[in-house]
A and B are shown apart, each in its own frame.
Chain A
């Protein structure tokens, strides 16, 4: 091997700590990009294929009970390819011997073998349940411990308890996908209906369209026509849903989330490149003498440039050896996690060529780009400078004629010290040295601060985003302020329920609500979407809306409603006071929109109208199926206890209770999904923090290495180990503290940016940003810890240097 390449090899392997630092800096960025790019590709390829492979229904109708004959009518309807009917009802179930009930939507499939729409993927146990057997969707397992072969207790409407055998676990990527907040699902055959006291009638239609399965407008046309036909046959359709065959309903959200993660991945690459630039410029400074010697014996710029370029590429190749396999595994892991969370299957482990290529490009280009300037500068240094060890870039500035002069910053430092000393405030000499050392290499300091500050700002803002999202979900809870929602199978007089409920001293308030559904029409009369109309009594204190414009509903409002922001998707210019064409109970009407409020748009469009009007319109004045109950205490545990107690109390008194739900339970699943997203963001934030602290560790080692001679001199004049260690630690801490202060400010725009992206992706609406001291507190602790850790090793190496070694260094 030629001596020049032998030198490159030695540079690579002799200083293992430095090589490791550079290689890990590159590897972190390459890994992050690999994981996200790989997961992005796997998910976008597999999600649609997996979703489509289960032949998802393009149309779902939730309607009155109907029979096989009517299903045949739907099957023959123009534009419908396949149609299957299901009976869906809610039960409460628990494993035998457990006390905690779980609400489950049971889906009855007429013929599992002939099932063609919304296909199930068997995961374990049997694929087809026999009589009195049940298949559980995998989401159920998050709520209860159950496995094939177990027995469940189910509670029926008459309070009787039956047992059912768990035949298998399945995955249903289609049925649950449209309703994010719906209870988990389970499946039985028609034979088992009798066990649940259910009639052999259907209440849902799942249909595919003949053509245009990925054309929402076409599906809507078929749906509108079908719905009209059904309503003409005196069946009422409650809600309708549309889905495209090759697009998972949550695809946009998932892509947006992956987009955010990708942005953070790019940020990590960017930060690691600044770390590499820093390390390489320090390496070149350390190698100044070598460069000088090489130039002295005939080395030209080109040769030296090539040598260091090869060194950079070697760093990149080593980083790729670590990051590419790890990134591939990580990508599949992340994709698998998201797939499980969203209820679809992946097509199997594979290497994603595009992610592989991106990783190789990033791994090779980042060190080249980051190291280009330091290498160019290093190779162009003059022999005189190199041999004399004149380290350009030390704090002193070049005056006219090349003379060093005191920098403005140094002058300020000296002046400040003098002023303090004049007033009797004397900063200890070692601290002064630490302070001065911190600012000696300003280029390096700026890069280190940049990396650490970006890491810190990202970290802090992720906490802010977390609180912002949770606050929003909580504020959405203002639409569900009751502690218990009590639903009955039959309507009861409001006064009767109120009287019974108030007999429990823990109940403080009761309201009966009405419900209705309506179609939102386009101006040409075609159906655009559904709106679920909730009708609390006017002036209800159980709704505290987040108004965007206009007012809330009030007593006396007729054909007036407030509607959620989702309406903007259909009518972008709608304002309070405008009229909206609706189809209510089969009649086309024009309703005045008196206000627009914020809500989670993913849950569909929601409207509010006064109870008096809706109940009278439904001929149900003073009657209600659904009651909102306020109790003495409002925490989740109390709500759960009250729901159980009220459920039992009303059943004992002969009421047909369908379900008693604790008020906060609806929001919990939303909050849980948000936490998963936040944990991803937090992992990325931690990676940025790791890159930042690696930058600091590198800087501190370089600083110590470059000051070997000074440290030796200090030891020679009596500095103890502890003095030297303290000096280095204080310098590291100072950098950490400065970055923290800068991070506090930078976290503000970061928080706004992240919140905007995440909220528009998830809630389809920008939300108010909330700041929490938690992120600041944790980061303050973390940055102190990281700064200390990053400085401990260099400090120990500094303290271990003997005067003899220092002289040898020269």
Chain B
């Protein structure tokens, strides 16, 4: 479906339901979730462990299948129903459109920092190998890790690894970045550095969706929603 997408929300979740099957029976992880994410937003999704926040994030990224409902992403003059794409098309789309950051960094341990940042460009074939190298170094410079560009991930700290993960997420210049507890395994000072980096990215026009359990971060998001037992509550709901 191709329409003019500028006036539409960047991501729309429509009646999203996700159930897990277990020996104990059906477990509803997301219950009829509806959510719109606008361009340039820094959205925080806040909830306790097991509330369904990571499951919700997996619905945005297409990493997990939904039970019912729809996730629409409106980018590049295109509206895409994410879960109608097959695994391969989804991988390519995600690589070009979305930067994903995890709590555990998920860097490839056998590659240097620069090679890790180059990897999305290599996979998506958007940049010439030489150009991708230059861009990887620029991004590492941006996250203040240029001096470590040729080190392996195991030789730098957790906070530095997370900055590399952010640089990697920006590699293909995606319009949206999705982060799952990106500061969860970092000390408070490092976490603050990372958060400041996100804020700078939002100021430069990116959309960031971040999942966290830390309610203390609420004031730093441009908007936040809370999730509990698979249901979303907005600030308005709370009031």
Most buried by A among B96, B111, B119: B119
**Smallest Cβ distance from B59 to chain A, in angstroms?**
11
Say if the beta carbon of B168 comes within 8 Å of chain A: yes
With A400-B21, A403-B23, A405-B23 as contacts: A299 and B95 at CB distance below 8 Å? yes
A295 vs B62: C-alpha distance in the bound complex, in angstroms? Answer: 11
Q: B119 contacts which of A294, A300, A383, A401 (Cβ < 8 Å)?
A: A294
Would you call A6 and B23 a contact (CB within 8 A)? no
Would you call A399 and B106 a contact (CB within 8 A)? no
Say if the beta carbon of A303 comes within 8 Å of chain B: yes
Would you call A300 and B110 a contact (CB within 8 A)? no
Would you call B21 and A402 a contact (CB within 8 A)? yes
With A296-B94, A297-B95, A298-B94 as contacts: A3 and B23 at CB distance below 8 Å? no
Say if the beta carbon of B190 comes within 8 Å of chain A: no
Say if the beta carbon of B104 comes within 8 Å of chain A: yes
Interface bits A345-378 vs B (CB < 8 Å: 1, else 0) = 0000000000000000000000000000000000
Would you call A303 and B111 a contact (CB within 8 A)? no
Say if the beta carbon of B172 comes within 8 Å of chain A: yes
Say if the beta carbon of A804 comes within 8 Å of chain B: no
A293 vs B116: C-alpha distance in the bound complex, in angstroms? Answer: 10
Would you call B21 and A294 a contact (CB within 8 A)? no
Can you name the residue of chain B whose Cβ is closest to the Cβ of A289?
Answer: B106
Most buried by B among A2, A14, A399: A2
Would you call A3 and B21 a contact (CB within 8 A)? no
Can you name the residue of chain B whose Cβ is closest to the Cβ of A296?
Answer: B100
Most buried by B among A400, A401, A404: A401
Say if the beta carbon of A810 comes within 8 Å of chain B: yes
Count A interface residues, CB 8 Å: 35
Say if the beta carbon of B64 comes within 8 Å of chain A: yes
Would you call B106 and A7 a contact (CB within 8 A)? no
Q: B63 contacts which of A296, A302, A404 (Cβ < 8 Å)?
A: A296
With A384-B64, A401-B21 as contacts: A293 and B108 at CB distance below 8 Å? yes
Would you call A2 and B122 a contact (CB within 8 A)? yes
Say if the beta carbon of A82 comes within 8 Å of chain B: no
Can you name the residue of chain A whose Cβ is closest to the Cβ of B102?
Answer: A387
Q: Which residues of B contact A294 (CB under 8 A)?
A: 108, 119, 123
With A4-B119, A402-B21 as contacts: A14 and B87 at CB distance below 8 Å? no
Would you call A300 and B23 a contact (CB within 8 A)? no
Say if the beta carbon of A115 comes within 8 Å of chain B: no
A492 vs B171: C-alpha distance in the bound complex, in angstroms? Answer: 107
Would you call A383 and B21 a contact (CB within 8 A)? no
With A383-B63, A399-B21, A400-B21 as contacts: A4 and B122 at CB distance below 8 Å? yes
**Smallest Cβ distance from B85 to chain A, in angstroms?**
12
Can you name the residue of chain B whose Cβ is closest to the Cβ of A293?
Answer: B106
Say if the beta carbon of A127 comes within 8 Å of chain B: no
Interface members, chain A 787-810 (any B CB < 8 Å): 810
Interface members, chain B 73-99 (any A CB < 8 Å): 87-88, 91-92, 94-96
Would you call B108 and A7 a contact (CB within 8 A)? yes
Say if the beta carbon of B120 comes within 8 Å of chain A: yes
Would you call B96 and A387 a contact (CB within 8 A)? no
Would you call B23 and A10 a contact (CB within 8 A)? no
**Smallest Cβ distance from A304 to chain B, in angstroms?**
9
Would you call B96 and A3 a contact (CB within 8 A)? no
Q: Which residues of A contact B7 (CB under 8 A)?
A: none
Say if the beta carbon of B58 comes within 8 Å of chain A: yes
A401 vs B19: C-alpha distance in the bound complex, in angstroms? Answer: 10
A294 vs B91: C-alpha distance in the bound complex, in angstroms? Answer: 9
With A2-B129, A3-B115, A399-B21 as contacts: A383 and B91 at CB distance below 8 Å? yes
Would you call A810 and B104 a contact (CB within 8 A)? yes
Interface members, chain B 40-74 (any A CB < 8 Å): 58, 61, 63-65
Q: Which residues of A contact B91 (CB under 8 A)?
A: 295-296, 298-301, 383
Can you name the residue of chain B whose Cβ is closest to the Cβ of A403?
Answer: B21
**Smallest Cβ distance from A257 to chain B, in angstroms?**
48
Most buried by A among B100, B108, B124: B108
A810 vs B102: C-alpha distance in the bound complex, in angstroms? Answer: 13
Say if the beta carbon of B204 comes within 8 Å of chain A: no
Interface members, chain A 9-32 (any B CB < 8 Å): 10-11, 14
Say if the beta carbon of A290 comes within 8 Å of chain B: yes
**Smallest Cβ distance from A389 to chain B, in angstroms?**
11
Interface bits A195-230 vs B (CB < 8 Å: 1, else 0) = 000000000000000000000000000000000000
Q: Which residues of A contact B118 (CB under 8 A)?
A: 2-3
Most buried by B among A299, A384, A810: A299
Say if the beta carbon of A495 comes within 8 Å of chain B: no
A242 vs B122: C-alpha distance in the bound complex, in angstroms? Answer: 73
Q: Which residues of B contact A402 (CB under 8 A)?
A: 21
Say if the beta carbon of A382 comes within 8 Å of chain B: yes
A294 vs B94: C-alpha distance in the bound complex, in angstroms? Answer: 11
Say if the beta carbon of B3 comes within 8 Å of chain A: no
Say if the beta carbon of B22 comes within 8 Å of chain A: yes
Q: Which residues of A contact B23 (CB under 8 A)?
A: 399, 403-405
A401 vs B22: C-alpha distance in the bound complex, in angstroms? Answer: 8
Would you call B21 and A298 a contact (CB within 8 A)? no
Q: Which residues of B contact A297 (CB under 8 A)?
A: 94-95, 100, 119-120, 123, 168, 171
Can you name the residue of chain A whose Cβ is closest to the Cβ of B107?
Answer: A293
Q: Which residues of A contact B58 (CB under 8 A)?
A: 384
Q: Which residues of A contact B87 (CB under 8 A)?
A: 295, 301, 380, 382-383
Can you name the residue of chain B whose Cβ is closest to the Cβ of A4?
Answer: B122
A7 vs B96: C-alpha distance in the bound complex, in angstroms? Answer: 21
A2 vs B123: C-alpha distance in the bound complex, in angstroms? Answer: 10
A504 vs B80: C-alpha distance in the bound complex, in angstroms? Answer: 110
Interface members, chain A 275-300 (any B CB < 8 Å): 289-290, 292-300
A402 vs B20: C-alpha distance in the bound complex, in angstroms? Answer: 8
Q: Which residues of A contact B21 (CB under 8 A)?
A: 399-403
Interface bits B109-142 vs A (CB < 8 Å: 1, else 0) = 0110001101110111000010000000000000
Would you call A10 and B122 a contact (CB within 8 A)? no
With A297-B100, A399-B23, A400-B21 as contacts: A6 and B88 at CB distance below 8 Å? no
**Smallest Cβ distance from B105 to chain A, in angstroms?**
10
Interface members, chain A 242-282 (any B CB < 8 Å): none
Q: Which residues of B contact A298 (CB under 8 A)?
A: 91-92, 94-96, 120, 123-124, 172
A412 vs B34: C-alpha distance in the bound complex, in angstroms? Answer: 46
**Smallest Cβ distance from A167 to chain B, in angstroms?**
70
Can you name the residue of chain B whose Cβ is closest to the Cβ of A382?
Answer: B87
A384 vs B171: C-alpha distance in the bound complex, in angstroms? Answer: 22
A673 vs B64: C-alpha distance in the bound complex, in angstroms? Answer: 68
Q: Which residues of A contact B122 (CB under 8 A)?
A: 2-4
A289 vs B110: C-alpha distance in the bound complex, in angstroms? Answer: 13
**Smallest Cβ distance from B20 to chain A, in angstroms?**
8
With A296-B63, A297-B119, A384-B58 as contacts: A10 and B110 at CB distance below 8 Å? yes
Most buried by A among B20, B120, B171: B120
Q: Which residues of B contact A4 (CB under 8 A)?
A: 119, 122-123
Q: Which residues of B contact A303 (CB under 8 A)?
A: 123
Q: Which residues of B contact A405 (CB under 8 A)?
A: 23
Q: What residues of chain A have their CB less than 8 Å away from a CB belonging to chain B?
A: 2-4, 6-7, 10-11, 14, 289-290, 292-303, 380, 382-384, 387, 399-405, 810
Inter-chain pairs besides A6-B110, A296-B100, A297-B171, 18 sampled, C-beta below 8 Å: A7-B111, A292-B106, A297-B120, A298-B95, A300-B91, A301-B87, A301-B88, A301-B91, A302-B88, A383-B87, A384-B64, A387-B63, A387-B102, A387-B106, A399-B21, A399-B23, A403-B21, A404-B23
Interface pairs (7), CB distance under 8 Å: A4-B123, A11-B110, A293-B108, A297-B100, A297-B119, A298-B92, A402-B21
Closest 10 CB pairs of A and B: A298-B95, A401-B21, A10-B110, A298-B123, A297-B120, A403-B21, A298-B124, A3-B115, A299-B123, A3-B119
